[in-house]
A and B are shown apart, each in its own frame.
Chain A
Amino acid sequence: MKRDSAVDLVGLLSVEGEELAASWVREVATSLGGRIGVAELDRELRELHGALREALREGAVDVHSEQMSEVRALLTELSRNRARQGFSPSETAMSVFALKRVLEPVLQNGSAETIRAYLQLGRILDGLGLFAIETYTQTRDELITTQAEQLLELSTPVVRLWDGVIAVPLVGTLDSARTQVVMEKLLQALVDTGSEQAIIDITGVPAVDTQVAQHLLKTIVAARLMGAECTVSGISPQIAQTIVALGIEFDGIVTKASLADALKLALRRSGVDMVAHEGVQR
């Protein structure tokens, strides 16, 4: 029984042979609106067609069958490419579902067996379509995670302003993950540069809520434990008022309005005097 239905399914895919694959390619190319090379599409779909026929011949019953491994591999590659090239999930799934539409003419004057075979193949193709979407989503998620990690790395440089003075300019939102990165980098930089003065500049942080404040306080305490003095700079008038209204206490922590002020303080603390010379054109 199983054998017979497999024969039917293969027959369905082989009736028109190469021509079926060609119309499949045409159908998909139309749905993608020419945003993908026809040659590439042709290669992808012909390979998929061949692999699917082979899998069905070997008696594959659904997308998770062992015989389908080749089809799954090809489909994974196809979905990954679509996701990277910026196609939508529907456009990706269409690549599979288009085959159903291409096969529709066989229903016109097909025998009961043909119709049963079509429906069975339809179920298998539905599974393949869903598999394609799953792979697509997975690829997108991976891309997003990678980008988030890159952003985390990008946005937290530790810069050396002077001998023994380092600064971390913070930009954007501070969440637990980023604070952890900032803290680690700052503490490591204190060791690496042998600095005793650290400035955390929050000019680029749009809002300081209790969580951000708590993270800042923890970082400062940790730096202190390593023998470094921390100054927080870049507190804008609106952030200052917000902090007061919230009731956060920055007891014992030196804060400055600008990075320049904080640097001056840090230099004074490390015993550097700045002298303005008379007669110098500024």
Chain B
Amino acid sequence: MTAPWSAGEEPQVYPIARSGDVVHIRQAIRALSQQCRLSLVDQTKMITAASELARNTLTYGGGGTVSAGMVSVDGRRGVAAVFEDSGPGISDVEQAMTDGWTSGGGLGLGLSGARRLVDDFQLRTAPGEGTAVTIIKWVR
């Protein structure tokens, strides 16, 4: 799964292997959001969504990578992040996207909440084939 990356700008790939990596990703997304001139509220939403998904990748996907960069379509600009892992995947997507449902010990709002925080949200997964989540926040 890919995002419409801006021409001439390769997305940066960051590993998600330890809980310290979640902090790095948050900082990287913050830098990108500022560079892209997202509003302060949108910056915070994008950072929080990235934080949720990075932690999901780590906790449920057993670690993976995130590619983050600028995107542009028809003159609109935005920040995108693609979270990929090769973990067990999600067998029941509808259930996983339900508020309050968790297979771990969390609040069960990470995945569903992240979808509400961003403008574009794509989830691709299959049992045993890992999970890829793409999120985009567009400049308003």
Contact = CB atoms under 8 A, between A and B. Distances in A.
A246 B106 contact: no
B116 A209 contact: no
Given A206-B30, A239-B44, A248 B107 contact: yes
B63 to A, nearest CB: 16
Interface in A198-217: 206-211, 213-214
Contacts of B44: 206-207, 238-239, 241-242
Interface stretch (B46-54, B71-79, B83-91, B124-132): B46-54
Prevailing SS type, chain B contact patch:
helix
A33 interface: no
A245 interface: yes
A209 B41 contact: no
Given A239-B44, A242-B45, A247 B116 contact: yes
A237 B113 contact: no
Interface of A: 173, 175-176, 206-211, 213-214, 237-239, 241-242, 245-248
Nearest to A241: B41
B40 interface: yes
Nearest to B44: A238
B107 A214 contact: yes
The 7 closest A-B pairs by CB, nearest first: A246-B113, A238-B44, A209-B51, A238-B41, A245-B116, A210-B107, A207-B48
Nearest to B40: A238
A184 B97 CA distance: 34
A175 B23 CA distance: 9
Interface in B28-43: 30, 40-41, 43
Q: How large is the interface on B (under 10, 10 to 19, 20 to 34, 35 or more residues)?
A: 20 to 34
Prevailing SS type, chain A contact patch:
helix
Given A210-B109, A248-B107, A175 B19 contact: yes
Contacts of A175: 19, 23
Contacts of A208: 48
Contacts of B47: 206-207
Nearest to A217: B107
Contacts of B110: 209-210
Contacts of A213: 107
Interface centre among B43, B107, B114, B117 (most CB of A within 10 A): B107
A208 B110 CA distance: 12
A214 B43 CA distance: 22
B65 interface: no
A245 B113 contact: yes
A209 B55 contact: yes
